[in-house]
Amino acid sequence: MRYFYLAAVVLLLSCTGKKYKNPHVAIQTKFGDIEVELFPENAPKSVAAFLSYVDSGYYKDASFYRALNDDNQPTGNASTALLQGGIWKTKPTMNISGIPHETTLQTKLTHKNGTISLARQAPGTAGSEFFICIGDQKGFDYGGSNNPDGQGYAAFGQVVKGMSLVQKFYAQPTNDDMLQQPVAILNIVRL
């Protein structure tokens, strides 16, 4: 009988661990973690590339370095709000690019508050840099007005915990659209 109870406790403990339908990652900062759920069924190429960078350790010692707000929009673009991060500011020589572009028309994901998406220039040039939407950003979706080519950006996940940290980092003072004091990303790890 004693072994039955022990087996029941072990079974119960094994069932209480975090198990997710989709992969989750933690963006680790000294202020706390931002947990992001990724959607590989919707955006398989974007998620696979992002997770390969996570698994390779590229995001160790990265940063949040850019915040677009009402006061610092690029000329000619519709007003947007985002917090951008990656390795560009801390590891500029590590140029990673070339992820095939997955539009929101293809993925059925939209740029709503807390969406994580790949930064890019032309379609197919996205790499390690990503941004998190502050509020709903329809201009980043396919056909939106924030990209002259109309292809939008490649949304691939959603912040599920820590949006208050994203807001805190976003609210930091900027020089033009760059944070005066970038926020260190200690690492991004799978959960």
User: In the chain, what are the domain boundaries?
Assistant: 20-190
* pLDDT single digits (tens) 27-62: 999 999 999 999 999 999 999 999 999 999 999 999
Residue 77: pLDDT band with limits 50, 70, 90: low
pLDDT confidence of 83, banded at 50, 70, 90? very high
Tell me whether strands 62-68 and 115-118 are parallel, antiparallel or unpaired: unpaired
Residue 5 has pLDDT above 60, yes or no: no
Distance, in Å, from the CA atom of 84 to the CA atom of 167, rounded to the nearest integer, reads: 12
Tens digits of per-residue pLDDT, 141-155?
Answer: 999 988 889 999 999
Cα separation, 167 vs 183, in Å, equals 12
Q: pLDDT per residue over 91-132, tens digit each?
A: 876 767 789 999 999 999 999 999 999 999 999 999 999 999
Q: How far apart are CA 124 and CA 164, in angstroms?
A: 31
Half-sphere exposure of 35 (CA within 13 A, CB side): 8
Predicted local confidence at residue 184, as pLDDT: 97
- The C-alpha atoms of residue 102 and residue 22 are separated, in whole angstroms, by 18
Amino acid at 60: K
Class of domain 20-190: mainly beta
3-state SS record for the chain:
CHHHHHHHHHHHHHHCCCCCCCCEEEEEECCEEEEEEECCCCCHHHHHHHHHHHHHCCCCCEEEEEEECCCCCCCCCCCCCEEEEECCCCCCCCCCEEECCCCHHHHCCCCCCCEEEECCCCCCCEECCEEEECCCCHHHCCCCCCCCCCCCCEEEEEEEECHHHHHHHHCCCEECCEEEEEEEECEEEEC
Q: What are phi and psi of 44, to 5 degrees?
A: -60, -40
Task: Determine contact, residues 183/64, Cβ cutoff 8 Å.
Answer: yes
pLDDT at 9 over 80: no
